[in-house]
Amino acid sequence: METELVEIVEGNTKLLVPKDSLIDNSPPREPAFFNPRARISRDFSIIAYATFLQTFRGPKVFLDSLAGIGARSIRVANELDAVEKVFVNDVNPKALEIAQKIAKINNVTKCNFSEDEACRFLSSHSRREGRGAIVDIDPFGSPSRYLDCGIRATFHGGLLSVTATDLTVLHGLFPAACRRKYYGTSIRTEYGNEIALRLILGCMNVIAGRLDVTIVPLFVQNNMHYYKVYAKVLVKTDTSNNMGYILHCKKCGNRQVITEVDNSCQVCNSKPEYAGPLWIGSLYNKDFLEGMLLEEKKLQVDKSCKKTIEKCLKEVDMPPSYYTLDEVAHRKRSAPLSLDKIIEKIQKAGFSASITCMNPSAFKTDARIDEILSIV
């Protein structure tokens, strides 16, 4: 029985998607997977790729290693004129058939389709002349098995975008699996989404270091169903120290970024928990975010993208982790203040503070928890 396909539009690209993927709460993987809830992710990708291509000097080739029906890669081919060639790869021949139909109805001619396992596909592009300016890895579950070949397939100065959907692992429910896949452990906290993103970047950094390659995060995006990071790949040895731990004290709520494990909380001397090793450097590049705001105006993307990027700009220089209004109110044993009010109070006390795109009712600050509680 032939799958019924429905035409929808994302950006200015027509897509043919399995009808059931628009109806079922969990999109079916057969005959081909398409997640309509990842539209915002694809919108952010278009913005990020457009921004990156403004300054990249080299062959503008896009490699999509786990393309599915090609929703992301064919949008890239159709909506980004700067891209010269797009390689659409998937191991599922039925998905590729749909991808080819999508390319045809959009009159896209710069796509090359291949049916191969993702690592074999990426390895076939590991020679210098065959690498991608932009490489995307968007698997079911963890991307860790693809990172080595993904980095090798990325041009010097190129962009590697990576998605993870194994949220239970990244949120600390399976510590052994987290150590195995991401070389670090998570803890269950209010800011678990940020820890997850930092674990992904930490894993990328470890693998890149083994290859004498440096990664430079430009942008990260989080959603209740997935995490996605965008990092520039530079073929040079990383001399900076961006790996460490986030110390979290369950007793007093203190967070501390450290490079070596410490067995006591600096506020209450209790034994803390640790997340890491993970990326403790910046998650964003200010110039890149400003470029994204400029490109967003030219593209047909969801209006929420602009608001998210603006929030990212406000927290670009903030330290890792954040505090929620409810957490502060609970420790203060009082009604929560408004977000604007608490940020204003902390700033007036001489500390840095900002909103965060990670949580609409949270803030980032360089003040410790005891200092926050005394201020508010």
End position of a domain, from candidates 241, 263, 297: 241
Domain presence at residue 251: no
DSSP 8-state class, residue 321: -
End position of a domain, from candidates 214, 241, 268: 241
End position of a domain, from candidates 241, 260, 280: 241
Domain co-membership, 59 together with 146: yes
* pTM (2 d.p.): 0.97
Asked if 365 and 355 touch (Cβ cutoff 8 Å), the reply is no
Domain presence at residue 232: yes
pLDDT tens sequence across 135-151: 999 999 999 999 999 99
| Strand, helix or coil for residue 19 | helix
Domain presence at residue 299: no
Structural domain count, the chain? 2
- Give CA 100 to chain center in angstroms: 27
DSSP 8-state class, residue 1: -
Asked if 156 and 235 touch (Cβ cutoff 8 Å), the reply is yes
Domain co-membership, 208 together with 87: yes
pLDDT (mean) for 351-369: 97
Domain presence at residue 185: yes
Torsional sign, CA 164, 169, 170, 171: positive
| Strand, helix or coil for residue 9 | strand
Q: What is the CATH number of the domain that holds 321?
A: 3.30.56.70
* Strand pairing report for 273-279 and 243-248: antiparallel
pLDDT of residue 344: 97
| Strand, helix or coil for residue 155 | strand
Domain presence at residue 224: yes
pLDDT (mean) for 172-195: 97
Domain co-membership, 233 together with 313: no
Domain presence at residue 300: no
- CA 52/CA 80 separation, integer angstroms: 11
Domain co-membership, 74 together with 189: yes
pLDDT (mean) for 36-51: 96
Rama region for 252: left / alpha / beta (φ>0; ψ in -120 to 50; rest)? alpha
| β-bridge partners, 10 | 13
DSSP 259-286: SS--SS-TTT-PPPEEEEEEE-S-S--H
pLDDT tens sequence across 82-104: 999 999 999 999 999 999 999 99
The residue among 59 and 241 whose pLDDT is bigger is 59
- CA 196/CA 208 separation, integer angstroms: 18
Least confident of 29-38, 244-253, 313-322: 29-38
The domain in which residue 363 lies consists of 309-376
Domain co-membership, 223 together with 338: no
Cβ-based burial of 304 (10 A; exposed 0-12, middle 13-18, buried ≥19): exposed
Instruction: Output the average pLDDT for the chain.
Output: 95
Task: Give whole-number Cα distances, 341 to 336, 337, 355, in Å.
Answer: 10, 6, 11
pLDDT of residue 2: 64
Domain co-membership, 354 together with 214: no
Q: What is the CATH number of the domain that holds 60?
A: 3.40.50.150
| Strand, helix or coil for residue 309 | helix
Domain presence at residue 296: no
* Strand pairing report for 61-64 and 111-115: unpaired
Domain presence at residue 86: yes
Domain co-membership, 61 together with 193: yes
Rg for the chain, CA atoms, rounded? 21
Token code pair at residue 268: 């209450």
